[in-house]
Amino acid sequence: MLLAFGVTRCLSSIGRSIMQSSTNAMLMDLMKTEHGAQYKVATARLYSRIGSISTLINFWYLPVVAAVMDSAGRFPLLIVCPLLTGLSQLLLSLRPSVRTYFVYRVCNDLVMMPNFQAQTAALSDLVGRGSLRFSLLNSQLRRYSAVAQLGG
């Protein structure tokens, strides 16, 4: 089970890293075709909108995620979150457009946080919250996740 958490977290980080680096170039190309010479300004506006929405999502979404995990359990989030991430990545690869990119980024922001929270909560259920083993495993998973994201 611990191996599954490690593999899932690393694969999520690698996928996010690859998608983010490749979608940035794709977005610039799409903005060039839609906005012509003003594509840099339009791209900056889109990134600021995504950043604002991401901040708002993180602000009001944390209590909702905690309530869902308390009522429905962690298992549904551990299944649904990676599926939604994969579907949004598939949608972006099949229909590359600025709107699809926007939907992909917002969906990714909605899904990644609950996924990592559910993984951390499930890990604490397995090894005991507050234990030294939990602290070591959680920091090790975070380290592997960061390395996978940087190397992805």
- To the nearest whole percent, how much of the chain has pLDDT over 70? 77
Q: In angstroms, what CA-CA distances link 148 with 22, 97, 140, 144? A: 16, 27, 12, 6
Which residue type does 57 have? I
Residue range 76-130, pLDDT digits in tens: 877 888 788 788 878 877 888 878 888 888 887 788 777 777 777 777 777 777 7
Query: How buried is residue 42: exposed, middle or buried, by Cβ count under 10 Å (0-12/13-18/19+)?
Result: middle
First-to-last alpha carbon distance for the chain, in angstroms, is 24
Q: Is the pLDDT of residue 152 over 50?
A: no
| pTM for this entry | 0.67
Q: Is the pLDDT of residue 148 over 60?
A: no
